[in-house]
Amino acid sequence: MSQYSSKSKLHVRIRNFVEWIAPEKKTRDAIKKQSGEIREKIKKKAEEDGLTITDMPYSGSFAKKNGLRRHLQGETTNEGQDIDLAFVVKPDKEIEFEPLIQRFKKYAEQAYPDTKITVTKSSVKMEFTGTKLTYDIVPMFATDDPEKQLLIRNNGDKIKTSVQKHTAFARNRTKETDEVDGIVVFNDCTRLLKWWRSHKEQTTNEIITLPSFLIDLLAAKALDKVEVNTTYAQTIANWFSYLENIVRKRETIWFDDYYRTPKPDNSKPWNVLDPVMPDNNVVKVWSGWQVDELADWLRDAAEIMNRAIVADLQGRDSDSLEQMKLLFGKIFSSHCD
């Protein structure tokens, strides 16, 4: 399909919508203020308890700048973005994860006694009713490399990771697209995929669920291979088509940002490798039918997007809008003009 004008009605509608789905400035400002306070209070409690905090890097979609605004998804609230506050601890006084995460739960309860606090598989979740913001405190162990950490989950899995490199992985791609002609940038396209994911999960009763990290990696692979067009419509159509093809073929998805040799697990139906740690397959628990279901989702999305483009080119604005409502939900029509 030929490229068309960035002045097209469809491009303008998607541009307006992507501006709306991004977190509001007042929310971003509130997060910066409150997260800074949390970091200082928790660090003080930890150090009073004898722990050594070597670093507190920001992570998650807030740090990557590809999160969504807080919104309703069905009858539940979708926070829209991950606000992860990493605490990198020197493994001296504490060397086991279960006592470590319980320590941080205690620190959070002491610092914020009126806040709902729960433990997840690898974090302490704090839910604030006043600001309506949720934070995940993620304790990690430091390693010999200041840019690598050891994350341990409550099932015993030990994952070497790098908060700094994961954040740079996404932000470097946004910077790259920001320097080419047009307004289409990587983090906004990632937001569109995340919104599509949320709508699709809701309308299919979550027959499969797609973690935000998987969406990040699918978007990154699409960018690396297909790049961005001067319009959101053409870019997203191209991305969906490309991703449907490689997912259908179950091609291994990996990146050469930080390593040169992938390590796929051939016993698994599909491999999507962590861009920092090649032995971490983020879909290792997936069955073959889930891979096929995702491929079907991507095929349907590509077809919808292409129908919207054809309708737009032919001046059938209402038909184009109906297709976008199929893709992103009825809410699209309330925030596209």
Is 57 a residue whose pLDDT tops 80? Answer: yes
Is 210 a residue whose pLDDT tops 70? Answer: yes
pLDDT digits (tens, 9 = 90+) for 123-152: 999 999 888 889 999 999 999 999 999 987
Beta strands in the chain (DSSP E): 53-55, 58-59, 71-73, 76-78, 84-89, 116-119, 124-128, 133-142, 149-152, 158-161
Looking at residue 2, its pLDDT comes to 46
Residue 150: beta bridge partners?
141, 160
pLDDT digits (tens, 9 = 90+) for 250-276: 999 999 999 999 999 999 999 999 999
CA–CA separation, 46 vs 151, rounded Å? 18
Domains, the chain, ranges and CATH?
9-22+183-334 (1.10.1410), 25-165 (3.30.460)
Is 160 a residue whose pLDDT tops 50? Answer: yes
Q: Mean pLDDT, to the nearest integer, of 208-237?
A: 96
Do the Cβ atoms of 21 and 191 come closer than 8 Å? yes
Which residue has 């840019």 as its token pair?
Answer: 147
Looking at residue 78, its pLDDT comes to 61
Going from the C-alpha of 288 to that of each of 135, 249, 281, 336, the distances in angstroms are 33, 11, 15, 37
Phi-psi region of 123 (alpha: psi -120 to 50; beta: other; left: phi over 0): beta
CA–CA separation, 291 vs 196, rounded Å? 17
Do the Cβ atoms of 240 and 248 come closer than 8 Å? no
Do the Cβ atoms of 88 and 36 come closer than 8 Å? no
Q: Mean pLDDT, to the nearest integer, of 38-60?
A: 94
Banded model confidence at residue 68, pLDDT cuts 50, 70, 90? very high
What's the start-to-end Cα distance of the chain, in Å?
25
